[in-house]
Amino acid sequence: MKALPYTLRQLEYAVAVAEAGGFRKAAEQCHVSQPALSAQLAQLEDIIGVRLFERDRRRVLVTGAGRELLARAKRVLTEAADLQALARCWEDPFHGEMRIGIIPTIAPYLLAEITPALKERFPELRLLWTEEKTSTLSSMLEEGALDAAVVALETDLGDVEHAEIAKDPFVLAAARSHPLAKARSKMPVAKLAQSCVYLLEDGHCFREQVVDLCSKVGSEEAGFRATSLGTLVQLVASTGGLTLLPSLALGIENRNEQLKIRPLGSPMPYRTIALVWRPSTPFRDALETLAKTMRAAYPVSSKVTNAKQG
């Protein structure tokens, strides 16, 4: 891009002169003195090498070149003003769009719940959701392809700041026929020992958490790895197996009659759902407010209901 030798102000003055039909009136409109306007205009004409106005003692005429160039000048000024107007839209961070990532073990259960609240609270904010596994979201965030992401804090996220949305306890989900389906409330995690547990496919952070948990108590993994929590539930129900689920998913995944849900304890395993962002983001304040709204809209009810009914 080559340097532009003239300024927007000069164009403004020129257009003003053409519209006002005189230097003095134009200067008044532009809130400058007539000599100041005169000087800028002379400079503009000097720079572009074309005489825009024909000065006569009693009036100002627009030259042929001036007619055409001033039309262009108006277009430039209009574009510039548009840009400014556009900027004013973005000035309010809740007016515009924000690109947010979210992991697959949260997205289907959380988005439906919080979207109405967000829509109501920030009607002018367009949220562009991207559903990917944590590692993908992490690099997208890093590269600036996302402004924030909803993930589980228990996974490595690199250098980010965060605002917690909720703690999401894990529960036992077993087929009705499974021995552990009859366990009392708050079944200790240790009881999972020796059980064969169904898990998600690689890359899901929820899988990593459960794997950690299971390896500690000595469970083994079933042969098949599900691609989503939905298929995981189907799998468990149809094979009479066992798995862990995040409570968040229960609102939807607990509809299977073959499935029994039992809370876990000693210690209660959980993940921390949070909104994360780059430390250098210009939207920190906005994102914290956003997270606050998400926290308020988080589906406590379903979690509590399920815990009680389990």
Partner DNA sequence: CCAATGTGATAGGCTGTGCCTATCTACTAT
Partner DNA sequence: ATAGTAGATAGGCACAGCCTATCACATTGG
Residue 305's alpha-carbon distances to 171, 181, 256, 261, 299, in angstroms, are 13, 18, 16, 11, 10
Nearer CB in complex with DNA: 281/289: 281
- Of 39, 42, 62, 118, the residue at the interface with a second copy (CB under 8 A) is 62
Nearer CB in complex with DNA: 25/295: 25
The region of 52-60, 65-73, 176-184, 267-275 touching DNA under the rule CB under 7 A is 52-60
In the chain, the N- to C-terminal Cα span, in Å, equals: 67
Minimum distance of a second copy from residue 43's CB (angstroms): 14
Residues 291 and 163: their CA atoms lie apart, in Å, by 6
Is the CB of residue 18 less than 8 Å from the CB of residue 29?
Answer: no
- Of 28, 34, 43, 48, the residue at the interface with a second copy (CB under 8 A) is 48
Q: Is 32 in the site for DNA (CB under 7 A)?
A: yes
Q: Is 255 in the site for DNA (CB under 7 A)?
A: no
The region of 27-35, 162-170, 191-199, 298-306 touching a second copy under the rule CB under 8 A is 27-35
Minimum distance of a second copy from residue 148's CB (angstroms): 11
- Of 2, 57, 255, 308, the residue at the interface with DNA (CB under 7 A) is 57
Site for a second copy in 111-150 (CB under 8 A): 143-144, 147
- Of 21, 35, 46, 86, the residue at the interface with a second copy (CB under 8 A) is 86
Partner from DNA, a second copy, none contacting 289, C-beta within 5 to 8 A by type: none
Partner from DNA, a second copy, none contacting 216, C-beta within 5 to 8 A by type: none
- Of 5, 8, 36, 64, the residue at the interface with DNA (CB under 7 A) is 36
Q: Is 24 in the site for DNA (CB under 7 A)?
A: yes
Q: Is 99 in the site for a second copy (CB under 8 A)?
A: yes
Q: Is 8 in the site for DNA (CB under 7 A)?
A: no
Residue 216's alpha-carbon distances to 72, 89, 177, 191, 210, in angstroms, are 73, 52, 25, 12, 10
- Of 15, 16, 40, 249, the residue at the interface with DNA (CB under 7 A) is 40
Site for a second copy in 249-278 (CB under 8 A): 278
Q: Which residues lie near a second copy (CB under 8 A)? A: 1-9, 11-12, 15-16, 19, 29-31, 48-51, 54-56, 61-65, 68-69, 72-73, 75-77, 79-84, 86-88, 90-91, 96-99, 143-144, 147, 278, 280-282
